[in-house]
Structure 1
Amino acid sequence: MRFALLGSGSEGNALLVQAGRTTLMLDCGFSVNETESRLARLGLQAEQLNGILVTHEHSDHIGGVARLARKFKLPVWMTHGSLLMQRAAFADIAVTELNPHHRIVIGDIEVQPFLVPHDAREPVQYGFSDGARRLGVLTDTGHVTPHIEASLAGCHALVLECNHDEAMLRNGRYPASLKQRVGGRFGHLNNEQAADFLARLDTGCLQHIVAAHLSAHNNTPELAVRALSATLSCAAEEIAVATQETGLDWRVIA
């Protein structure tokens, strides 16, 4: 089982997970041309995808999904709430509505959606498994709930939001309303919230930890890495950072 990110941040997000003969994309916030270019960088073509899962309806996550699915005839999965907010865009696309409390199996990958607190209609994040290994993804959540902790306990790899440094957001250039939204209980995790979550999580099987969805204006990779590595008592080099420009190359979960 392996995973990679095409890009991560407010200008576009997409993640790939691959197991056996199945390759799934999680979100797509890029144009078709940009998505194809980023896939090629990872040695893939869009025709090799088996489908796209959606976390929520914000444009940096869903903006490119309909066009990519339409061009390559890809099935799409999302919650009822997300589809309600995008029904016209997906009118001619095969969309399966997810129950956020039920696992599904797509080819060789078991998918577990779970609800998260974010300012969207019915936002979810996901766990992925090939039966032996688990990848957890947690971004776009304002705080961590017991349900999230239970859903991600014991993962072998974790992609974790470190959106902002609290002081940088507080003292930065954003208007007060946007600061409140980003830092609120339905916004995005800051570095310390992500680290506190890691401290409570069962990380005994963890092989990969990736800091993701970093703000271009209110965070730095160094601050995010420092927070996570301190919690895990590991070297900074053991924390990967997914960037907006290049994402993250393939990581194998052994």
Structure 2
Amino acid sequence: MAVYISSLNSGSNGNCYYIGNENEAVLIDAGISCREIEKRMKCNGLSMEKVKAIFISHEHTDHIRGARVLSKKFQLPVYITPGTLQAGALEILPHLNVPYKAFDIIDIGKLRVKAFPKFHDAADPHSFTVSYEDIHIGIFTDIGQPCEQLVQHFKQCHAVFLEANYDVEMLDKGHYPYHLKQRIKGGHGHLSNHQALELFLQHRPEHLNLLLLSHLSKDNNNPQLVQSMFEKVCGGTKIVVASRYEASPVFKVIPSASFSASEQLKLF
């Protein structure tokens, strides 16, 4: 029993996350081109034949850019809320457009996907957990602030894609205009390094094997900085920074508490 996960891209230039077992997989968001998704999956030894659905978190371009073409080419259902579909003007073929709502639990083969609402400046934004038997993976990005739902789902996870978008000092001293800085840190924008670290320290479950720090800002963050922040206090959790330029390795996540963290996480 194992789940295989990879960040195919993570950042304001595009987001796409792969979660699957031996037989089926889902993509959370498709914010890079269909061609690039195919190429990165192939390079990672991942098969598009296993992908059974795309789940869309919200309508911003860096989360939907490749969804229409990918869905049409591979006849993949796109799970998307009506509000997100309308706000994103996303043209999904009618028979592939599958609406969902908050707290729906959707079975894709033996994978179980749960959606829950989050704080973000979008029409109807959601975060997800993807579960396979007793293994739970969280996809928690584009979060303006931690909420009780986020905390409760975080506590269940064996691996998490967690937003660490910006360093407060870099943002404050950076070149962004005032209104954009306020949007980013105003409670419906993005999660800072320190907010992500506080969530990790206060609510990390003992079985959290892997943390992929995600959606880092190109201008207002530094991968080495945030990696160092988390590695100082990571305990048995492996820390990986998801890139905005390339796919991460594929990680194998298993739930057994009888193995060390290094044995629980292996490249596929």
Q: Check conservation: 1:66, 1:93, Cα contact below 8 A.
A: no
2:249 matched residue in structure 1: 249
String of CA shifts for 1:28-83, please: whole Å, max 9, x gaps: 11112212111111113434321111111000011110111011111110122212
Matches within 5 A, 1:81-120: 81-87=83-89, 89-92=91-94, 94-120=96-122
| CA deviation map 1:183-219 (0-9, x unaligned) | 1100000100000111221421111111111111110
Match of 1:185 in 2: 187
Query: d(CA) in 2 for partners of 1:41 and 1:93?
Result: 30
* Counterpart residue number, 2:9: 7
Normalised by the size of structure 1, how large is the TM-score? Answer: 0.94
Q: Which residue of 2 aligns with 1:165?
A: 167
Corresponding position: 1:144 with 2:151: no
Secondary structure in 1 matching 2:98: strand
Amino acid at match of 1:98: Y
| Matched ranges for 1:65-76 at <5 A | 65-76=67-78
Cα distance in 1, alignment partners of residues 228 and 50 from structure 2: 37
Partner of residue 221 from structure 1, selected from 210, 220, 223: 223
Partner of 1:239: 239
* Aligned counterpart for 1:207 among listed residues 191, 206, 209: 209
Aligned residues: 252
Give the letter for the 1:186 counterpart. H
Q: Please say if residues 160 and 209 of structure 1, whose CA atoms lie closer than 8 Å, have aligned partners that are also in contact.
A: yes
Bigger shift: residues 75-84 or 86-95: 86-95
Preserved contact between residue 154 and residue 204 of structure 1 (Cα < 8 Å):
no
Q: CA deviation at 1:122?
A: 0.6
Give the drift of 1:169: 0.5
Which amino acid is the alignment partner of residue 229 of structure 1?
E
Range with bigger deviation, 89-98 or 169-178: 89-98
The answer to whether the 8 A contact 1:2-1:251 is kept is yes
C-alpha displacement of 1:233: 4.4
Q: Which range moved further: 202-211 or 160-169?
A: 202-211
The answer to whether the 8 A contact 2:68-2:90 is kept is: no
Aligned to 1:37: 39
Inter-partner Cα distance in structure 1 for 2:132 and 2:47: 22
Give 1:20 deviation, angstroms: 3.5
Consecutive unaligned residues of structure 2, counting only runs of 5 or more, are 255-268
The separation in 2 between residues aligned to 1:204 and 1:49, in whole angstroms, is 30
Query: CA-atom RMSD, angstroms?
Result: 1.6
Deviations 1:109-158 (A, max 9, x none): 01111110000011001111111111111100110001111122131111
Moved more, 221-230 or 118-127: 221-230
2:200 alignment partner, SS class: helix
Q: Distance in 2 between matches of 1:91 and 1:57?
A: 17
Q: Give the deviation of 1:92 after TM superposition.
A: 4.1
| TM superposition shift of 1:18 | 0.7
Quote the Cα distance in structure 2 between the aligned partners of 1:76 and 1:251: 25
Report the residue type matching 1:192 in the other structure. Answer: H
Question: Which amino acid in 1 is paired with 2:87?
Answer: M
**Alpha-carbon contact 2:4-2:20 (below 8 Å) kept:** yes
Q: Corresponding residue for 2:30? A: 28
